[in-house]
Structure 1
Amino acid sequence: MQTLVICIDRDNDLGEKAKLETPIVGREANVQAAVALGIADPEDSDTNTIFGGIKILDELRAKGTDAEIVSFAGDKNVGVISDQKIAEQLETFLNVNDVQRAIFVSDGAEDETLVPIVQSRMRIDSVKRIVIMQSQNLESTYYILKHVFSDPKISQTFFVPLGLAFLIYAIFLLADYPDGAVVGILAAVGFYMLYRGFGLDDLVALEKEKLWDAFLEQRMVFISYTAALLTTLVATAYGATEVWKLYSADGVWYQGILTLVSVFINASVWWYAGAILLANFGKIFDLRMENKPIYKNVAISLFVIATGLLFWGASTYILATASLSKGATNDATLALQYFVYSVAVAILIALAGIKYSVSNQISENEEKGRGRRKKKLA
């Protein structure tokens, strides 16, 4: 095959609306897909993208070029997940088809972010953007706003913070504490903005999909991740309870922010460490069942324990200096010794994890080298 016409549907309208699976290969199959998508949603621009690709295909074939058309679709969670799905489909297609060059067809800048992914695997001769000509009525402000807010990606970004603010305000009004509504709204909206700003929504969606696959495949990692999530909730609730006890007993931030943070860390650090170890245990178990190396995960577990020791030792010493520790650790001198010992033990545990990981990495590389040499001799 000399030239491949690639049509991209990054948000998987073909799957969500027309109930079609991709890749869709061939002129007739793409005509049927475009018609099905056009019937399901006449206003979807991906329909025109496919028809635009078909037109380019016909023009190439009229010139005697050996060409074919294929449509790839990603996922409604646009981002890492959708791009990975398109990349996997492209890899599978190229493994069974010899393609020399490609023409990339899209309906806008969002789909064109896939150009580097395609370009890393083959030569792209042209990028064609299909622009729909609209009538004057369709360009009215009402129509534009209506369709912008019907887009799930935009509506979630705009309506979720507003919905959170209204909901929190209503809850505080019912609790007869309107002054706390401002704090609650700012905290919730700020958390949501950080969540979206750092791109955690893509990460959460990806992990959720992996977790669902683990459930369907009956892997231990599903149980361990669920247990880790519940343990994290318990850790947060327990730490917050301890902070509230100190806050309510001594007044508004009487002890200082550092002390309150230390109380939270000291109360919950081992719960959080246990949650991470639980999640890692599931990975180790599944890797063992698949006869895959586990040294990286074992090293991670050791690093988690070492980090927990450091945070516990530091928070214990801070609380001891504020005379807030209980039992033997209430003595500042003894708490300082605990801190020094925790640092030393944490370093030893971390070094053990590094040594274990490096030695197993070397062994794995040697086995791969022997395997390559055997293949060459064969």
Structure 2
Amino acid sequence: MVKTIVIYVDIDDDIGDLGFSTPIIGEEKCKLTLDKAAYFMPTDSDFNSMVVAFNIYTDLKRKGEDTEIVFISGSKKGGTESQLEFSKKLDKVIEELSPEYAVVVYDSPDDARAIPIIQSRLKISAVQQVIVEQYRGVEETYMLLAKYIRKAVTEKRYARVFLGVPGIILALAGILAALNLSVYIEPTILIILGVAMVIKGLKIDDLIESWWENSTIMVITATVSIISLLIGVINLYIQLQIVRGLSSIQEFAFIILQILPYASFSAIILFGGKAISKGLNRDIRVWHDIIKIINIVIIYFILFTVVKDIIDNTYILTFQSLYTLILASIVIISIYITLTALEKYGILEKLIKRI
């Protein structure tokens, strides 16, 4: 059992570029990694962080502390994937060494994301952030700038922002200019930049990536659902430019009538995706989503009839429509109550297993 481990954190797996896989445990293996890093990346802040971690380890060892050094990396994918990978590797280290305390060494803000993960498993006795300060002339500054530009272009997590967002802006600006809609270029740029900031700021891209790994079906259906809503909004805007002379209540009904098919399709495709996902996993709760889809279909036809009557100035539901509505509601409520009871007492699960 080791009392203290000195952890060098490499959340974006730069060590992988040297041909090593982590966790790297022990003085000899870490020294071998340092020697190779000194040759291939002597000016990189990661190398300096490794050196600092190794020096802390040797200093503790000299003082008679029961200590060990480990290098732990995450993943090139960045975001949640890196943290999950780091967490798995940390568990391996703890299982092998059974430490009580940790000294954490890191250099970048991304690496700092590993600190709460370590803290959830070990007592952190010290944290050291390595900041490399150097004086550079004009030529060295250009070399450093070129290095970061190359990193922004070649590394996936940076390329999404530094290439993806400007690429979308340039493409849309070109399309709008070709269509003689140059007046919309500036608002389009502001919208794209705003959306990109919201996505990165709220880590929506990490969330979508996590969804994609857990359920590809849900990501696809959610995308189709959002596209459907956007098309509905565009169609509504176009129709409102054409239609004139409606009263306030008729205009409100007209808005509902135009957006209703797209919103209904959006909800149906979303719950349909959940139902398919649950069905593939043999989850008996799939019937919840099926009932929701049926309800959406019924609500669609009811709302369609009502708003159509308002626009036509009739305001009257026929007796047949009302009878059909009441009958459908009774049937759905009865089915829902029956399935809920069967699920509660485990009968539904037994029936599905027999099928």
- Structure 2 length normalisation: TM-score? 0.74
CA contact (8 A) 1:35 1:47 kept: no
Q: Does 1:298 align with 2:284?
A: yes
Which residue of structure 2 lines up, in the alignment, with residue 201 of structure 1?
A: 205
Which residue of structure 1 lines up, in the alignment, with residue 268 of structure 2?
A: 270
The answer to which of 201-210 and 143-152 deviates more is: 143-152
Residues 73, 139 of structure 1: CA spacing in aligned structure 2 closer, same or farther, 3 A cutoff?
A: farther
Residues 62, 169 of structure 1: CA spacing in aligned structure 2 closer, same or farther, 3 A cutoff?
A: same
Provide the rounded CA distance (Å) in 1 between the counterparts of 2:116 and 2:211.
24
CA contact (8 A) 2:232 2:263 kept: no
CA contact (8 A) 1:6 1:102 kept: yes
Q: Following TM superposition, by how much is the alpha carbon of 1:13 offset from its aligned partner in structure 2, in angstroms?
A: 1.1
Q: How does 1:1-378 map to 2 (within 5 A)?
A: 1-15=2-16, 17-137=17-137, 146=146, 149=149, 150-151=151-152, 152=155, 153=157, 156-179=160-183, 181=185, 185=189, 188-209=192-213, 225=216, 251-252=241-242, 257-284=255-282, 297-299=283-285, 301-323=286-308, 332=317
Provide the rounded CA distance (Å) in 2 between the counterparts of 1:112 and 1:238.
40
Residues 335, 108 of structure 1: CA spacing in aligned structure 2 closer, same or farther, 3 A cutoff?
A: farther
Q: Following TM superposition, by how much is the alpha carbon of 1:155 offset from its aligned partner in structure 2, in angstroms?
A: 5.5
Provide the rounded CA distance (Å) in 2 between the counterparts of 1:19 and 1:342.
65
Identity across the alignment (%) = 22
Residues 76, 351 of structure 1: CA spacing in aligned structure 2 closer, same or farther, 3 A cutoff?
A: farther
Q: Following TM superposition, by how much is the alpha carbon of 1:321 offset from its aligned partner in structure 2, in angstroms?
A: 2.6
CA contact (8 A) 1:23 1:89 kept: yes
Specify the code of the residue in structure 2 equivalent to 1:4: I
CA contact (8 A) 1:316 1:335 kept: no
Specify the code of the residue in structure 2 equivalent to 1:283: N
Provide the rounded CA distance (Å) in 2 between the counterparts of 1:163 and 1:76.
23
CA contact (8 A) 1:265 1:311 kept: no
CA contact (8 A) 1:195 1:201 kept: yes
Provide the rounded CA distance (Å) in 2 between the counterparts of 1:139 and 1:336.
81
Q: Following TM superposition, by how much is the alpha carbon of 1:261 offset from its aligned partner in structure 2, in angstroms?
A: 2.4
CA contact (8 A) 1:164 1:189 kept: no
Provide the rounded CA distance (Å) in 2 between the counterparts of 1:119 and 1:342.
56
| CA deviation string 1:5-39 (max 9, x = no partner) | 11110111112x22321101111211222333444
Secondary structure (helix, strand or coil) at the match of 1:96 reads helix
CA contact (8 A) 2:8 2:104 kept: yes
> Which of structures 1 and 2 has the bigger CA Rg?
2
| CA deviation string 1:218-273 (max 9, x = no partner) | xxxxxxx46x6666676677777777777766745766544332121234543333
Provide the rounded CA distance (Å) in 2 between the counterparts of 1:192 and 1:140.
32
Provide the rounded CA distance (Å) in 2 between the counterparts of 1:267 and 1:209.
25
Specify the code of the residue in structure 1 equivalent to 2:273: A
Gaps of 5+ in 1: 212-224, 285-296, 364-378
Provide the rounded CA distance (Å) in 2 between the counterparts of 1:266 and 1:298.
25
Provide the rounded CA distance (Å) in 1 between the counterparts of 2:174 and 2:227.
23
| CA deviation string 1:201-230 (max 9, x = no partner) | 11233344457xxxxxxxxxxxxx46x666
Residues 336, 180 of structure 1: CA spacing in aligned structure 2 closer, same or farther, 3 A cutoff?
A: farther
Q: Following TM superposition, by how much is the alpha carbon of 1:55 offset from its aligned partner in structure 2, in angstroms?
A: 0.8
Residues 336, 242 of structure 1: CA spacing in aligned structure 2 closer, same or farther, 3 A cutoff?
A: farther
Secondary structure (helix, strand or coil) at the match of 1:298 reads coil
Provide the rounded CA distance (Å) in 2 between the counterparts of 1:253 and 1:81.
50
Residues 192, 109 of structure 1: CA spacing in aligned structure 2 closer, same or farther, 3 A cutoff?
A: closer
Specify the code of the residue in structure 1 equivalent to 2:305: A
CA contact (8 A) 1:305 1:346 kept: no
Provide the rounded CA distance (Å) in 1 between the counterparts of 2:293 and 2:309.
20
Residues 163, 44 of structure 1: CA spacing in aligned structure 2 closer, same or farther, 3 A cutoff?
A: same
